[in-house]
């Protein structure tokens, strides 16, 4: 079986391609012009350089049976709203149309829990929940919602599409890195004197990759599956990292109004004066909510693995250390424990 993969140079996509190659699938990967190809080094993968909005994508997809549409533009900056819409919404519309024209048999579309949102009453969300799009915080979450609607529309029109919604992946090959990878790096670099009182659903990125493959074989057309594992407060995550590394965890939580004011000044005032902002307002606003999710449907229907989060965090630390993101300070405590 030949698979066409978008987003293969990124975190989830690189782990998915590694899994597909190890399982004997033939992989053709879409890479954008000027993309960093380090995550594909050494892999037997055919690459094609194009964008999601390329008019000739159908030609590139021909000969493949499966499409994994993993690629998405990620940004929390207010200035990037149009770019997010062009890539995530219109790009998804275009590649799904190209898949239909090319005769792709089944598509696995990578959405996100960002498209689902968070219940206002604090309940843990599953696939049946949906925040109204106007309640989603920031242009990124809204773009992922509208992109997922493109997948539903195409499915309603007869395309065989399964939707997966990863929560917060952690693990190896976080080359950029992701915002959660940045949290781990700031901890390792001793750049986190305090923390925000928020929460995330974490999952090993390799389990996310396996969830994609299981969705290909077991997923029901038109259904979505949350690919997640454990709900943890940020404080709990930092304590696990402290236990793994021997580094001290920050002891104090920062009131939300402090980073919110700093982000507002950064993005709305300093950016207008020509300075590069460093803290997006929408990122701080998101952190006011515990982003907790239930993955029972994916576990029961797809057989989604649930690697212990402690192990995933340990592997992320080791990967960052061995790839030069932080100095390796001897063996990491607790790996395999």
Q: What are 8-51's pLDDT values in tens digits?
A: 999 999 999 999 999 999 999 999 998 899 999 999 999 999 99
DSSP output for 235-250: HHHHHHHHHHH-PPPP
Query: Does position 195 have pLDDT exceeding 90, yes or no?
Result: no
Best mean pLDDT range from 111-125, 259-273, 279-293: 111-125
293 DSSP β-pair partners: 125
| pLDDT bracket for residue 217 (50, 70, 90) | very high
Return the residue matching tokens 């609607």: 149
Q: What is the Cα–Cα distance from 137 to 66, expressed in whole angstroms?
A: 32
| pLDDT bracket for residue 121 (50, 70, 90) | confident
Tokens of 156: 């309603």
Average pLDDT over residues 217-237: 97
pLDDT at 216: 98
Query: Does position 265 have pLDDT exceeding 80, yes or no?
Result: no
Q: What are 273-286's pLDDT values in tens digits?
A: 566 556 665 665 56
Asked whether 227 and 205 are in contact (CB, 8 A), the reply is: no
pLDDT at 41: 93
pLDDT at 336: 42
Q: What is the Cα–Cα distance from 301 to 226, expressed in whole angstroms?
A: 11
| pLDDT bracket for residue 331 (50, 70, 90) | very low
Q: SS3 for 232?
A: strand
| pLDDT bracket for residue 138 (50, 70, 90) | confident
Q: Between 84 and 335, name the one with better pLDDT.
A: 84
Angle at 141 between CA 198 and CA 253, to 5 degrees: 15
Q: What is the Cα–Cα distance from 250 to 238, expressed in whole angstroms?
A: 8
Average pLDDT over residues 314-326: 95
Q: What is the mean pLDDT of the chain?
A: 89
Best mean pLDDT range from 36-40, 55-59, 303-307: 303-307
pTM of the model: 0.91
Query: Does position 334 have pLDDT exceeding 80, yes or no?
Result: no
pLDDT at 80: 75
| pLDDT bracket for residue 305 (50, 70, 90) | very high
Query: Does position 258 have pLDDT exceeding 60, yes or no?
Result: no
Q: How far is CA 156 from CA 159, 175, 323, in A?
A: 7, 36, 44
Tokens of 274: 């020509």
Asked whether 133 and 145 are in contact (CB, 8 A), the reply is: yes
């Amino acid at each position: 079986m030949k698979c066409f993969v978008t987003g293969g140079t990124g975190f989830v996509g690189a782990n998915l391609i590694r899994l597909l190659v190890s399982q004997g699938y033939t992989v053709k990967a879409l890479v954008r012009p000027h993309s960093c190809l380090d995550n594909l080094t050494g892999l037997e993968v055919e690459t094609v350089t194009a964008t999601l909005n390329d008019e000739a994508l159908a030609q590139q997809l021909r000969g493949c049976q499966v499409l994994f549409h993993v690629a998405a533009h990620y940004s929390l900056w207010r200035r990037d709203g149009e770019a997010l819409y062009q890539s995530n919404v219109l790009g998804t519309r275009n590649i799904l149309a190209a898949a239909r024209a090319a005769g792709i048999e089944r598509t696995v579309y990578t959405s996100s829990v960002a498209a689902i949102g968070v219940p206002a009453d604090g309940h843990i969300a599953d696939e049946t929940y949906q925040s109204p799009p106007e309640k989603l915080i920031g242009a990124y979450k809204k773009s992922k919602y509208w992109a997922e609607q493109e997948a539903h529309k195409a499915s309603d029109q007869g395309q065989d599409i399964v939707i997966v919604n990863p929560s917060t992946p952690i693990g190896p090959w976080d080359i950029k890195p992701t915002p959660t990878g940045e949290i781990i790096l700031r901890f390792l670099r001793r750049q986190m004197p305090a923390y925000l009182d928020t929460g995330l659903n974490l999952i090993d990125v390799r389990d996310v990759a396996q969830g994609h493959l299981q969705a290909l074989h077991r997923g029901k057309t038109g259904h979505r599956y949350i690919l997640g594992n454990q709900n943890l407060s940020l404080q709990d995550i930092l304590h696990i990292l402290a236990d793994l590394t021997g580094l001290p965890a920050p002891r104090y939580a920062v009131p939300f109004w402090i980073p919110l004011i700093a982000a507002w000044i950064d993005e709305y005032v300093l950016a207008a004066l020509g300075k590069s902002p460093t803290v997006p307002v929408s990122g701080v606003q998101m952190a006011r909510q515990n982003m907790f999710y239930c993955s029972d449907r994916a576990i029961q229907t797809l057989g989604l693995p649930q690697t212990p989060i402690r192990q995933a965090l340990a592997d992320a630390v080791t990967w960052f250390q061995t790839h030069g993101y932080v100095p390796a300070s001897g063996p990491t405590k607790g790996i395999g424990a």
